[in-house]
């Protein structure tokens, strides 16, 4: 049985990599807590997160850019910002 374990380790040595990451303390604590709560390793939780992130389909084409349009105009009548109903009326054009 020891031969099988050694062979298994030798076969998978190129599939596993070790690396060092600098992670946000709160993120790392949350990941460790999730792993402990689920009875999993931290590695398994991080791998799942990476698979989910990298498995998302990428958009084709350039990223969306918002182009602001500004125009000269008159200042709207003042509305009391604390009066929600008045704000909605103004935004809906009822006032």
Would you give per-residue pLDDT tens digits along the chain (95 residues)? 445 555 555 555 556 778 888 889 999 999 999 999 999 999 999 999 998 888 865 566 787 788 888 878 776 667 777 888 888 888 887 65
pTM above 0.75, yes or no: no
pLDDT value, residue 60: 67
Phi, psi of 18 (to 5 degrees): -105, 140
pLDDT of residue 38: 96
- The owner of tokens 């791998």 is 47
Nearest Cα to Cα of residue 79 among 68, 90, 65, 71: 90
Q: 87 φ, ψ to 5°?
A: -60, -50
DSSP letter, residue 60? S
């Amino acid at each position: 049985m020891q031969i099988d374990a050694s062979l298994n380790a030798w076969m998978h040595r190129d599939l596993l990599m070790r690396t060092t990451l600098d992670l946000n303390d709160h993120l790392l604590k949350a990941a460790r807590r999730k792993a402990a709560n689920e009875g999993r390793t931290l590695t398994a939780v991080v791998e799942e997160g990476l698979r989910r992130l990298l498995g998302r389909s990428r958009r084709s084409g350039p990223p969306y850019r918002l182009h602001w349009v500004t125009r000269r105009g008159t200042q709207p009548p003042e509305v009391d910002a604390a009066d929600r109903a008045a704000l909605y009326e103004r935004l809906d054009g009822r006032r």
